[in-house]
Structure 1
Amino acid sequence: MIRGIYTAAAGMLTQQKRQDLLTNNLANVNTPGYKQDEAIIRSFPEVLLQTIRVPVKDKQPIGSLHQGVFVEEDVPIFKQGDLTETGVNTHFAIWDPELELIPNGQRRPILLFTVQGQNGERLFTRSGLFTEDAAGQLVTPEGYLVLDDQGRPIRTNGRSFTVDQKGNIRFSDGQTLRLGLTKINNPNQLLKQGEQIYRLQGNQGNLPFVNENENYQIFQGKLERSNVDPTQTMVDMITALRIYEANQQMIQFMDKTLEKAVNEIGRV
């Protein structure tokens, strides 16, 4: 009976964490480049029960005992988001056909913009919401420098420029360079660094930049929208709430049963 309470409580905690994750996804439905997080739920190891207080040769297995579930981790789903027009020449969007229709549980290589962190480390983002800072450099909203395919900060210095579908930048004075895009073969190695910013686990930040032969397109004056489906997220939130309530009622039922066992049966 007590084990049952612990199992139901584990289910409540799991659904509470899942609800928090879904709420955060829904809150970022309009955040450019946001990738929804998915809760990976695992069960605790099963325990094999057998008879006790009998000779070893006479012990018989009773069966297995489940000990509930828990949220092992939350992982971002890098499915392609829709593109929206902004008309701002410092806004960019990556269109990756391979990410357009992948199932949520499937992992495929992903292309990301490359930016430079405050300590000089290489970081990554799918959000092309860039602006020009006071020093004439292309930066993210957090102030990270946007890099070209040589690993150098992109300096606009107030010049007008155009970007073609392979990320080649042509400035009004004739200078040309290319946006630095990095291909991450295993997105599971990406860890969230902050708002729409990712870093690679371990010392893997010096990956080569992709060349123009990769199957992708860059759109200037557009942004990639969040890939959160608000309707499905609301359905998932309702489901999580119902499961939470079912576990809550189970705890109340077992509590009343224990109360009877102690207060009524114990008197007999």
Structure 2
Amino acid sequence: MMRSLWTAASGMVAQQANIDVVSNNLANVNTTGFKKSRSDFEDLMYQTIRQSGTATGADTQLPTGIQLGSGVRQVATQKIYTQGPTQSTGNDLDMTIEGDGFFQITMSDGTINYTRDGAFKRDEQGRIVNSEGYPLEPAITIPEGSSNIAISSDGRVSAKLAGQTASQELGQIQLVKFVNPAGLDSAGHNLLKETAASGTPVASDPGVDGTGTIMQKYLEMSNVQVVEEMVNMIVAQRAYEINSKAITTSDTMLEQAANLKR
């Protein structure tokens, strides 16, 4: 019965972690480019009381054994990189990636982070930057007074400069992809960092090597499905309650055993 207390307690801890993941998904239901996470669990060590296949006679053996588990633990939280729905904004610098690619963002220390958030703006220098003010990589500057900003599906940025009648190409957006995007580390601010598990980024122009194409004046919204997350929350809540009930039941049995009299 002491084993059952610890086993059920591990189930409660695991379901609390599950609720934490679901809550973060729901909190980011309106976050541009957000990708939902999923909790992965695994069972813990087993104590083998009787080993399967043990000989019970000259020509017989145990068809099954006895193993007692010790609970569960959260082993991973995996981001699910399915495409989110697109929303028309009419903003010239809003972009959606239709495919598996990521935008590159240059941080203040010179390192490169990655994002699916295509809500870009212009800073005081005319550079295309994200909402935190970090520039897109490769850097693209749109001069003051430019009009008719256009971004093609293959990432070419062009605009009519002040005093000119024809559009001029200003730069080329590049996207990157990873062998294992689920291995990227979330850094907050809609940014992701490369890790050993994600593999090294492979950069190319949009539409090449499966990185996806760009849609101007659209944003990719969160891929969180509220109904799905609510169902996950209910399942986690009921599992938590069942494990707490197992603890209560084990405690009652221990109490009865402790109160036995000769």
TM over 0.5: yes
The residue aligned with 1:31 is: 31
CA contact (8 A) 1:129 1:140 kept: yes
Could you report, residue by residue, the CA deviation over 1:152-179 in whole angstroms, capped at 9, with x for unpaired residues? Answer: x221233332001111111223133211
The residue aligned with 1:192 is: 186
The residue aligned with 2:114 is: 124
CA contact (8 A) 1:43 1:68 kept: yes
Instruction: Say whether residues 1:244 and 2:240 are aligned partners.
Output: yes
Query: Cα–Cα, structure 1 residues 122 and 50, in superposed 2: closer, same or farther, change >3 Å?
Result: same
2: CA distance, partners of 1:93 / 1:142? 18
2: CA distance, partners of 1:211 / 1:93? 11
The residue aligned with 2:54 is: none
Q: Which amino acid aligns with 1:92?
A: M
- Tell me the number of residue pairs that the alignment of Structure 1 and Structure 2 aligns: 241
CA contact (8 A) 1:199 1:205 kept: no
The residue aligned with 1:102 is: none
- The 3-state SS of whatever aligns with 2:204 is coil
Alignment of 1:51-90 (within 5 A): 63-90=66-93
Shift of 1:50: 4.8
Could you report, residue by residue, the CA deviation over 1:190-226 in whole angstroms, capped at 9, with x for unpaired residues? Answer: 1111122111114966643345434522111110010
CA contact (8 A) 1:122 1:205 kept: no
Shift of 1:78: 0.3
Larger Rg: 2
Give the fraction of aligned pairs with identical amino acids, expressed as a percent. 29
Instruction: Say whether residues 1:156 and 2:142 are aligned partners.
Output: yes
2: CA distance, partners of 1:82 / 1:207? 25
Q: Which amino acid aligns with 1:147?
A: E
Query: Cα–Cα, structure 1 residues 75 and 186, in superposed 2: closer, same or farther, change >3 Å?
Result: same
The residue aligned with 1:101 is: none
Q: Which amino acid aligns with 1:222?
A: Y
The residue aligned with 2:135 is: 145
CA contact (8 A) 1:90 1:220 kept: yes
1: CA distance, partners of 2:199 / 2:245? 48
Instruction: Say whether residues 1:254 and 2:250 are aligned partners.
Output: yes
- The 3-state SS of whatever aligns with 2:102 is strand
Instruction: Say whether residues 1:44 and 2:44 are aligned partners.
Output: yes
Query: Cα–Cα, structure 1 residues 207 and 62, in superposed 2: closer, same or farther, change >3 Å?
Result: closer
CA contact (8 A) 1:183 1:210 kept: no
The residue aligned with 1:55 is: none
2: CA distance, partners of 1:44 / 1:15? 15
Alignment of 1:172-187 (within 5 A): 172-173=160-161, 174-187=168-181
CA contact (8 A) 2:180 2:199 kept: no
CA contact (8 A) 1:123 1:205 kept: no
C-alpha RMSD over aligned residues: 2.1
Shift of 1:138: 1.3
Unaligned 5+ runs, structure 1: 52-59, 97-109
The residue aligned with 1:169 is: 157
Q: Which amino acid aligns with 2:42?
A: R
1: CA distance, partners of 2:206 / 2:28? 32
- The 3-state SS of whatever aligns with 1:192 is strand
Instruction: Say whether residues 1:222 and 2:213 are aligned partners.
Output: no
Moved more, 33-42 or 168-177: 168-177
Q: Which amino acid aligns with 1:213?
A: V
Unaligned 5+ runs, structure 2: 52-61, 162-167
2:195 to 196, 201, 204: 201
CA contact (8 A) 2:153 2:206 kept: no
2: CA distance, partners of 1:11 / 1:28? 26
